Amino acid sequence: MKNYLFEQKAVFAFNIWSIDSARAVIDAAAEKKANVILQTSSGVFEKIAKKQLREFVSSYASDQGIRAWLHLDHCRKTTLIREAVDLAWDSVMIDASDRSVGENIAATNAITGYAHEQGVLVEAEVGQIRGAEDNIVYAQSQIASREDIDRFLRETEVDMIAAAFGNAHGIYQSEPQLHYEIVEYITEKTEIPFVVHGGSGMTDGAVRRLLEIPNVRKINISTDVKLAYREGIMTAYKNGLMERDGFQAVDVEHLIHESIGSMVRSRLSLLSE
């Protein structure tokens, strides 16, 4: 089975929640001539028109001359993961990192066989990454232990691996203390591509440092997409576009599209330095 992460040195994965947000990300990626991953959280996955989003991403990205893959981010529910596999999502993340490493391995293996049979890649995580993703909230930081990493790599057949190395979801309250040595430990130990969670709010310097590590191949950006969406609405408001008289939804949507696009382009610039 081909792992799409090997098609380029590294790829950013942006969370989207609609056809419009997907289009904003694809347009920006096409401008930068970069392939891209669009991720749906499991909460979003439950709400969207799945089949139509799948069709849109494939056809629109190919019209724009890039590859765009669909990924199911942090998911604890086997039924949802199976649904994503059946709907030809390109990859899925089973997140059982809140359980013991043994249980995490069992949950991961329970989904890997099913996904691989249909050519869908599997991502999993060792150690819990701080912050809130959908309703998944972790109280405290937990750096993945070398022991757990070793065992996880030995006993699973995942295609992408994430690990807690001091990174967090959401907005960082202060500069995160990233344990690059954990990332290096994993990437030296295995060929399996490493996934960086919590890329939103990481400084460009931190992302550059991570991208220098061979086999760091996927960098997740979620919060920044939502904040860019919000920023678009705020700009519309400040520019008087939200007045009742003469209100044009299309103008507001254009500002949102531009706001998401500019954030995406700025992150993607890090790939071509």
Cβ-contact 195, 204 below 8 angstroms: no
Minimum separation from the CB atom of position 133 to Zn ion (A): 5
**Cβ closer to Zn ion: 27 or 95?**
95
What is the x/- site pattern for Zn ion, positions 187-216, by CB under 5 A?
A: ----------x-------------------
Rounded to whole angstroms, the Cα distance separating 167 from 69 reads: 24
SS3 206: helix
Rounded to whole angstroms, the Cα distance separating 200 from 183 reads: 18
Size of the site for Zn ion (CB under 5 A): 1
Minimum separation from the CB atom of position 51 to Zn ion (A): 25
**Cβ closer to Zn ion: 197 or 217?**
197
* Active-site residue set: 73
Cα–Cα distances (Å) from 238 to 182, 230, 243, in that order, read: 44, 12, 10
**How would you class 253 by CB atoms within 10 Å of its CB: exposed for 0-12, middle for 13-18, buried for 19 or more?**
middle
State which of positions 209-248 bind Zn ion (CB under 5 A). Answer: none
**Cβ closer to Zn ion: 15 or 156?**
15
Cα–Cα distances (Å) from 187 to 11, 88, 184, in that order, read: 16, 28, 5
**Cβ closer to Zn ion: 32 or 74?**
74
Minimum separation from the CB atom of position 206 to Zn ion (A): 16
Cβ burial 53-81 (10 Å sphere, 16+ → b, else e):
bbebbbebbeeeebbbbbbbbbbbeeebb
User: Taking every pair of C-alpha atoms in the chain, what is the biggest distance, in angstroms?
Assistant: 63
Minimum separation from the CB atom of position 220 to Zn ion (A): 5
Rounded to whole angstroms, the Cα distance separating 56 from 66 reads: 13
**Cβ closer to Zn ion: 76 or 197?**
197
**Residue at shortest CB range from Zn ion:** 197
Minimum separation from the CB atom of position 92 to Zn ion (A): 13
Cβ-contact 74, 38 below 8 angstroms: no
| Torsional class of 8: left (φ above 0), alpha (ψ -120 to 50), beta (otherwise) | beta
What is the x/- site pattern for Zn ion, positions 152-191, by CB under 5 A?
A: ----------------------------------------
**Cβ closer to Zn ion: 149 or 164?**
164
Minimum separation from the CB atom of position 197 to Zn ion (A): 3
Residues near Zn ion (CB under 5 A) are: 197
